[in-house]
Amino acid sequence: MTGSASRYPDVYAQSIRDPEGFWREAARGIDWFEEPRRAFDPALGIYGRWFPGGVTNVCHNAVDRHVANGRAAQPAIFYDSPVAGAKRTVTYGELQTEVSVLAGVLRELGVGKGDRVVIYMPMIPEAVFAMLACARIGAIHSVVFGGFAAAELASRIEDAQPKVVLSASCGIEPSRIVTYKPLLDLALTMAKHQPEACVVFQRPQVEAKLQPGRDHDWAALREKAIAGGMAAECVPVEATDPLYILYTSGTTGKPKGVVRDSGGYIVALRWSMEGLYGVEPGEVFWSASDIGWVVGHSYIIYAPLLTGCTTVLYEGKPVGTPDAGAFWRVIEEYKVAALFTAPTALRAIKKEDPDGVLMRDYDRSSLRTLFLAGERADPDTVEWAQNKLDVPVVDHWWQTETGWAIAGNPVGLGALPIRVGSTGVPMPGYQVDILDEGGHPVGADRMGSIAIKLPLPPGCLPTLWRQDERFRESYLEEFPGYYKTADAGFKDGNGQLFIMGRTDDIINVAGHRLSTGGMEEVLAAHADVAECAVIGIHDELKGEVPCGFVVLKAGVVRSPADIETEIIALVRERIGPVAAFRLAITVNRLPKTRSGKILRGTMKKIADAEPWNMPATIDDPSSLDEIAAALNARGLAKVSAA
């Protein structure tokens, strides 16, 4: 099904035939202080390392290089915050100044190459300065999403062991102000590891209380650094040095620290901007995500800035800030060429403005392509967007682990015809196979586990932070020679991929990746709970929402409704509001196999009103009727959590 005009077939074939030559050529898109010895060395690391011997600096490539090349006056960031009522344009010249001053502040606080810095901040320009300032001095940042609870922040601090934490007084949600500092203080009472310093940016909405000795006022340090001429220059780092750690949900409550290297990542991102997204230097790119997620790291910050684009930093929602026309306003105002968002955002807009009336109020002529990722894009929503917006809607598939798309429609190489429901074809360097349980590739149109042949291309994780063994066990052991994506799906006869769901207990709630295993750990910690099961059930808006079933301990006489309320509060307290855990149901027992395995898959099918077969190994078939009855009693056969 390849479009005759597309260069994709040749480009992809070259990337597989001659990876060394392909990625060496791509590496010319960035500045090196010292050229790599070779593109890939299979003898290094766990499955090989990209660009060994190469010396570069990510901040130099994202900022200084553009200033030196005449982009000082070009906007680097359009910050737009309907929730704060604020807008700000930051040019590349200003970005260089701010980042080098903040890098100087970090250096004064003792942060050096390889030290970790946790960034717990909302979507404000200072958060971008913070990430780039770390990159400038070779420190490793670890950004924690604002919607997580203190305990999640604590576990990340414990694992990353940061020298410094950068934070802000608050985030702003449409319904409330999220005071970050008390959450940070609480997290630091939970973590054994203590940073040497916390630097807090005071937003006008809330003034955070600073703890003398440990906490510093961001603005005061900035002023002092400017007065003292403390700006820091870019330090050379190895291509294989980590740029960041980004924690993502694993199958237990303990998150996985995905490590991103420096050289391979920026080569891949730079290639993707032109090859996949079809966006050129000087254009405006908008990723309506959050800096706490991988999409934010790669496509709010690094890829657009590496390319000399202007990135939009939008602190708002697709609806309610103030209405479902918000995205179209931003496109008009900043002349956005490409928008990247999650399907759930479109579903939210479609729900409020099904006829696209608000779209007509804005000039969207700058928009060439809409990209979707983060969760399965349902064909209805894709078609709705395509019809209403009259631009190609490109679904593409990737994971925190890969850092950029595994598969998509390479618009920059000449778009292939769009097949709604498919996430397109593999990007350069990715050899994607569909495997059966024995690890053998299956034929076209057959469902299986999706795996990527090693080595992974540049940009993908080389390991998990200080957990090489967990990396091997989680991703490399089940299918030798492959990286296991833990997604299931199939390829059609033309090599187009269809991603149908996870093979583990990860669920996707409004584009946010969450572990039901992690939630079960929280439920099980309630004093009255004997056992529990959490499943993701279909939701019209969020794609999936978690639903927890609990069996109470014998002799508990308290009202199940009270216990359910406590459980819901507990998940919010331990994992955070982002879990959107609002459904807890008490049952007398859980359906199990004779060997005691909880039948979560069948429970999910019942909740989603999908066809299901009685599992041959079930202990007592009537236990499933009880689940159906419990769901029906709540009117939850097809639930919407909105």
Q: Which residue ranges make up the site for ligand COA (CB under 6 A)?
A: 146-147, 171, 173, 175, 178, 289-290, 293, 295, 317-319, 342, 344-345, 348, 373-374, 510-512, 577-578, 580
54 or 147: whose CB is closer to ligand COA?
147
Tell me the C-alpha distance between 579 and 585, whole Å: 17
Among candidates 85, 577, 579, 118, which has minimal Cα distance to 315?
A: 85
Among candidates 177, 230, 222, which has minimal Cα distance to 199?
A: 222
Cβ neighbours of 613 (radius 10 Å): 7
Tell me the C-alpha distance between 594 and 194, whole Å: 47
129 or 148: whose CB is closer to ligand AMP?
148
169 or 287: whose CB is closer to ligand AMP?
287
Tell me the C-alpha distance between 295 and 290, whole Å: 7
Least separation, in Å, of the C-beta of 418 and ligand AMP? 13
| Binding residue for ligand AMP, selected from 294, 427, 510, 599, defined by CB under 6 A | 294
CB 62 within 8 A of CB 302: yes
CB 370 within 8 A of CB 336: no
Pairing of strands 40-41, 49-50: antiparallel
Angle at 147 between CA 146 and CA 149, to 5 degrees: 95
5 or 569: whose CB is closer to ligand COA?
569
Tell me the C-alpha distance between 605 and 281, whole Å: 47
Contact segment (CB under 6 A) with ligand AMP among 31-39, 304-312, 369-377, 440-448 equals: 369-377
| Binding residue for ligand AMP, selected from 375, 505, 539, 608, defined by CB under 6 A | 375
175 or 588: whose CB is closer to ligand COA?
175
331 or 342: whose CB is closer to ligand COA?
342
40 or 404: whose CB is closer to ligand AMP?
404
Q: Which residues, listed in sequence order, are joined to residue 88 by a DSSP beta bridge? A: 79
Least separation, in Å, of the C-beta of 636 and ligand COA? 19
175 or 613: whose CB is closer to ligand COA?
175
127 or 234: whose CB is closer to ligand COA?
127
| Binding residue for ligand AMP, selected from 328, 397, 479, 483, defined by CB under 6 A | 397
First to last CA, the chain: 39
Q: Examine residue 248 and tell whether it contacts ligand AMP (CB under 6 A).
A: yes
Residue 254 touches which of ligand COA, ligand AMP, none (Cβ within 5-8 Å per kind): none
Residue 297 touches which of ligand COA, ligand AMP, none (Cβ within 5-8 Å per kind): none
111 or 584: whose CB is closer to ligand COA?
584
CB 156 within 8 A of CB 142: yes
Q: Examine residue 81 and tell whether it contacts ligand AMP (CB under 6 A).
A: no
Among candidates 138, 137, 132, 139, which has minimal Cα distance to 161?
A: 139
Contact segment (CB under 6 A) with ligand AMP among 85-93, 223-231, 359-367, 368-376 equals: 368-376
Residue 248 touches which of ligand COA, ligand AMP, none (Cβ within 5-8 Å per kind): ligand AMP
Q: What is the DSSP letter of 253?
A: S
Element (H, E) at 135: helix 125-137
Among candidates 32, 33, 199, which has minimal Cα distance to 101?
A: 199
Least separation, in Å, of the C-beta of 344 and ligand COA? 4
267 or 450: whose CB is closer to ligand AMP?
450
Least separation, in Å, of the C-beta of 298 and ligand COA? 10
Residue 76 touches which of ligand COA, ligand AMP, none (Cβ within 5-8 Å per kind): none
238 or 505: whose CB is closer to ligand AMP?
505
Least separation, in Å, of the C-beta of 579 and ligand COA? 8
Q: Which two tokens stand for residue 322?
A: 């103030």
Residue 400 touches which of ligand COA, ligand AMP, none (Cβ within 5-8 Å per kind): ligand AMP
Q: Examine residue 508 and tell whether it contacts ligand AMP (CB under 6 A).
A: yes
Least separation, in Å, of the C-beta of 63 and ligand AMP? 26
Please report, for residues 323, 397, 523, the alpha-carbon distance to residue 317 in angstroms, rounded to integers and kept in the order given.
Answer: 9, 22, 30
Residue 364 touches which of ligand COA, ligand AMP, none (Cβ within 5-8 Å per kind): none
Name residues contacting ligand AMP, limited to 468-507 (CB under 6 A). Answer: 487, 499, 502
Burial of residue 17, with CB atoms counted within 10 A of its CB: 0-12 exposed, 13-18 middle, 19 or more buried: exposed
Residue 587 touches which of ligand COA, ligand AMP, none (Cβ within 5-8 Å per kind): none
Q: Which two tokens stand for residue 252?
A: 């237990």
Q: CA-based Rg of the chain, rounded to a whole angstrom?
A: 24
| Binding residue for ligand AMP, selected from 395, 505, 539, 544, defined by CB under 6 A | 395
Name residues contacting ligand AMP, limited to 174-213 (CB under 6 A). Answer: none
Among candidates 203, 192, 191, which has minimal Cα distance to 121?
A: 203
Pairing of strands 140-143, 116-120: parallel
Name residues contacting ligand AMP, limited to 420-459 (CB under 6 A). Answer: 423
Among candidates 36, 22, 54, 52, which has minimal Cα distance to 457?
A: 22
Residue 342 touches which of ligand COA, ligand AMP, none (Cβ within 5-8 Å per kind): ligand COA
Residue 499 touches which of ligand AMP, ligand COA, none (Cβ within 5-8 Å per kind): ligand AMP
Cβ neighbours of 182 (radius 10 Å): 15
CB 631 within 8 A of CB 585: yes
Least separation, in Å, of the C-beta of 134 and ligand AMP? 21
Least separation, in Å, of the C-beta of 237 and ligand AMP? 25
Residue 272 touches which of ligand COA, ligand AMP, none (Cβ within 5-8 Å per kind): none
Element (H, E) at 273: helix 263-275
177 or 435: whose CB is closer to ligand COA?
177
Tell me the C-alpha distance between 617 and 606, whole Å: 17
Q: Which amino acid is at 577?
A: P
Tell me the C-alpha distance between 105 and 218, whole Å: 9
Burial of residue 540, with CB atoms counted within 10 A of its CB: 0-12 exposed, 13-18 middle, 19 or more buried: middle
Tell me the C-alpha distance between 162 and 193, whole Å: 8
Least separation, in Å, of the C-beta of 342 and ligand AMP? 9
Residues that bind ligand AMP (CB under 6 A): 248, 294, 373-377, 395-400, 423, 487, 499, 502, 508, 513
